[in-house]
Chains A and B, each alone.
Chain A
């Protein structure tokens, strides 16, 4: 308990209007700075003999090389009765041995060299990445190529990963947020493969033949793009890649297409004993870079991105009803993304928070946003553009993904032009066109015995048992 009054706001002479700062300090809200135009990195592009497209950038400052190959082979392509296959496939591809090496040998060599080879997958892509000190490039590149082209899928490692996946399923109702996210993604993508979730039965059904078939079907150089950056010289690296991937042959790959999701608007409720409810609400809108996407992206930022978004201000800052709240427009590639908001709020305010959230969506439909609000989020997008070019590997990977998705090379410039052109009236029109609260999927995870009002007072409730 010491008196520190002498350090409190210095209302001494020379300080501006009693505001505690020297009179010659600028008003930070009036400080103007020119927008820095980023200097884009341009990767060198080459196609290998086998048809693999490669994007390369040299970066000689640190003794590392990183690479990632994207294969169009995501979880939407797995069979209905084997949901979870892609995740297991990715794990066993990395851990089940490769080329001449057993699973343990692969692990031992990589870890002794402090290098990594990793395989990850999502709904659209499987990617195989490596990172190594440049002094070990040859060895690590060989292992990476073996994992990519000659994975062994050792049966005992498949059993191990299936067992771990079953344990993860056993644990997936441990956290309320985890339950809500899973259920929301499932309901909003209903009728589309992206809305499927794995079960103990679907995981148990996965066999080694399924892994081999998945690899055989999608892993072709003409269905892939490689992004590679770091401490090397491009011509030498191209030669290395030709040698390492010489055995990889092109082949026919047909990718099925699916009708868009057809979610059923309702309040999906899952009972969980907890003192907070997790609330997600939204609906599918448009695919990324379709007309309306840029405006929806901007609207979703106004709705739920950061401290000065509507949800944050109304739910958190002004009322203290949540720590976590926000929203976004997801990027949909191949099928529509969704426009959504979420809050994690005390259980006895559940209905109140749902209504408060819905009011934010409605307000964006009923009234144009203020010019000031629009500029705030527009400026953020424009001024943050320089951060798109802080890592060469991230840039190369981004370009690789856009190529794979067949987006125009100047897609981002187009997006920026649309962001620059958007007016409050445009935003309101797009909001009215695409975001209708009566069509929302609303997911609530919480303890209904403690709700302020029954959810049925807000709409049609479908009670979903915890699986």
Chain B
């Protein structure tokens, strides 16, 4: 299950003409406030795919505020004074009343007040929330876009980035700009505590009641002992319960600024004309501070194997991770190749060995840059054993295959196959749509400019079989390894 980004980083042998064509079509503008705007005209249909990406994510959170980036992503859908309020002065007062009621309740809990007082303050807090709900539309941004025929309105938060996505009929460009310029300046975090409950449910669903999510959490915690990649992206239950409006707003106002964002439009656009409209709205948003120095701790080199088990009410699963550098370090690109050699397709080494030949696994997959890409990360292999075979059997087979990678050079045919696969995957992304918008935003924000897409083939084309061996030897070592195993809980299933 390689992410779209992982695939894209494997750009190879782009057919020159095609790449050239796309390159010539892309227009880049930088507004005075630092917002970078990319436009890609594509006249297939009268629609525009938007991607607004910020270089903010889980790694930017202060300890104790885990998941706050994800929380503010939810809150960015709640509107502004001019989007959603039925009576702003009244609503503003009602929101302040909620903050006050919450603070009083928190203080009472902190000083160990009697239960009756806590009850009373809880009721007052709930009453204040109900009052505020009456003064606003519940989901105003969605309402605007739904009315106008949106597709795929969504957002996602990663460890390194947050992006907001929507596709609209192309004559709604001005609506989009009017909404998002306002959100960047004036987001109102209405229904905040209701949303805290929603996020708690999301945490239960993704991380607690899903064996995969639960395993991911223990795996990352073991693999990263000081770096924020080791924390759950959604936060711990305690952290989520501790969210308060002021802290969330402070995070929002610290980070989500035009100079830390890229806006990409793919579709029925005319750059020279449409940039005027973009400037009219997005140009009003004030520039904010640059990314603060967060002193994100460096993960110390791992010196011994780490093993963790999760007892869980599900069938067994295995996850193995090896620390590795990230881009632009050349080893990271070599790891992308190894990723494809091991698990891309039915002829890949691990699929063929574990699933077809040994019939020891239901499935096997890998990822060459997990869980983020901004800092040194992991090469991860995941597999589910096929009964009666065990996770121990899978581990043994996987290590055998990694040894083979260290000891024998990959054949020219296999190298060529991997290059062909990645080139085709890349071309598919160039077909446009939301995927292209996201990819361009990503490269522009993190790889020193979108042009980088067109330059990576040179790196991959020069990677040799010897380098693949060297990199495998360097990183696939027992002491650099974290192994997480899901063990079926005894008793009821």
A: residues with CB less than 8 A from B are: 1-2, 4, 6-10, 16-22, 25-29, 31, 33-34, 36, 38-39, 62-64, 95, 104, 107-108, 111-115, 133, 160, 163-164, 167-168, 170-171, 173-177, 272-276, 306-308, 312-313, 316-324, 344-346, 375-377, 379-380, 382-387, 389-390, 466
Contact = CB atoms under 8 A, between A and B. Distances in A.
A382 B253 CA distance: 37
A384 B421 CA distance: 34
Contacts of B421: 111, 114
Nearest to B489: A273
B435 interface: no
Interface string B284-296: 1010110010000
Contact of A318 (B133, B153, B344, B493): B133
B417 interface: yes
Contacts of A275: 204, 208-209
B427 A33 contact: no
B201 A345 contact: yes
A160 B359 contact: yes
Interface residues of B, number: 97
A10 B82 CA distance: 13
A376 B143 contact: yes
A114 B171 contact: no
Contacts of B179: 28
Given A16-B82, A176-B209, A112 B417 contact: yes
A9 B81 contact: yes
Contacts of B158: none
Contacts of A95: 346
A466 B81 contact: no
The 3 closest A-B pairs by CB, nearest first: A383-B149, A320-B197, A307-B142
Contacts of B175: 28, 31, 33
Contacts, number: 247
B18 A323 contact: no
B347 A379 contact: no
29 contacts: A4-B250, A4-B253, A4-B288, A19-B88, A20-B186, A22-B284, A28-B175, A33-B169, A38-B45, A64-B431, A95-B346, A107-B346, A111-B345, A112-B417, A114-B420, A133-B427, A160-B359, A164-B362, A167-B362, A174-B211, A273-B313, A344-B201, A344-B205, A376-B146, A379-B148, A384-B150, A384-B169, A386-B45, A387-B167
B202 A323 contact: yes
Interface stretch (B188-196, B329-337, B372-380): B188-196
Interface in B296-348: 313-315, 344-347
A63 B18 contact: yes
B314 A171 contact: yes
Given A18-B88, A28-B144, A383-B148, A8 B253 contact: yes
Contacts of A4: 250, 253-254, 288-289
B198 A36 contact: no
A109 to B, nearest CB: 10
Q: Give the interface centre of A6, A8, A111, A376 by most chain B CB atoms within 10 Å.
A: A111
Contacts of B148: 33, 379, 383
Contacts of A107: 345-347
Given A64-B427, A379-B148, 12 more contacts: A4-B250, A25-B178, A25-B182, A33-B148, A38-B46, A112-B413, A174-B211, A174-B313, A276-B204, A317-B194, A320-B195, A324-B201
A376 B313 CA distance: 43
Contacts of B150: 380, 384
Contacts of A274: 209
Contact of B46 (A25, A36, A163): A36
B210 interface: yes
B424 interface: yes
Contacts of B416: 112
A17 B387 contact: no
A308 B46 CA distance: 25
Interface in B191-243: 191, 193-202, 204-205, 208-211
Contact of A111 (B77, B314, B362, B417): B417
A27 B82 contact: yes
A246 B259 CA distance: 61
Contacts of B344: 111
A38 B148 CA distance: 14
Given A175-B210, A308-B138, A313-B139, A163 B359 contact: yes
Contact of B138 (A16, A163, A313, A380): A313
A26 B178 contact: yes
Nearest to B130: A318
Q: Give the interface centre of B153, B169, B193, B257 by most chain A CB atoms within 10 Å.
A: B169
A19 B80 contact: yes
B448 interface: no
Nearest to B84: A29
Contact of B194 (A64, A319, A379): A319
B83 interface: yes
B201 A390 contact: no
Contact of B149 (A17, A163, A313, A387): A387
Contact of B186 (A19, A34, A62, A345): A19
Contacts of B315: 170-171, 174
Contacts of B197: 319-321
Contact of A2 (B88, B208, B254): B254
B356 interface: yes
B151 interface: yes
A319 B292 CA distance: 36
B178 A28 contact: yes
Nearest to B81: A19
A167 B387 contact: yes
B34 interface: no
A80 B181 CA distance: 59
Given A10-B185, A112-B420, A34 B171 contact: yes
A308 B139 contact: yes
A22 B185 CA distance: 11
B130 to A, nearest CB: 9
B427 A308 contact: no
Nearest to B149: A383
B201 A306 contact: no
A28 B85 CA distance: 12
A316 B431 contact: no
Q: Give the interface centre of A6, A113, A174 by most chain B CB atoms within 10 Å.
A: A174
B172 interface: yes
B115 interface: no
B44 interface: yes
B146 A21 contact: no
A179 B421 CA distance: 36
A417 to B, nearest CB: 18
A383 B147 contact: yes
Contacts of A375: 147
Contacts of A384: 149-151, 169
Q: Give the interface centre of B147, B289, B430 by most chain A CB atoms within 10 Å.
A: B147
A106 to B, nearest CB: 9
A382 to B, nearest CB: 7
B441 interface: no
A21 B182 contact: yes
B408 interface: no
Contact of A317 (B138, B146, B292): B138
A421 B169 CA distance: 23
A173 B77 CA distance: 35
Interface in B49-96: 77, 80-83, 85, 88-89
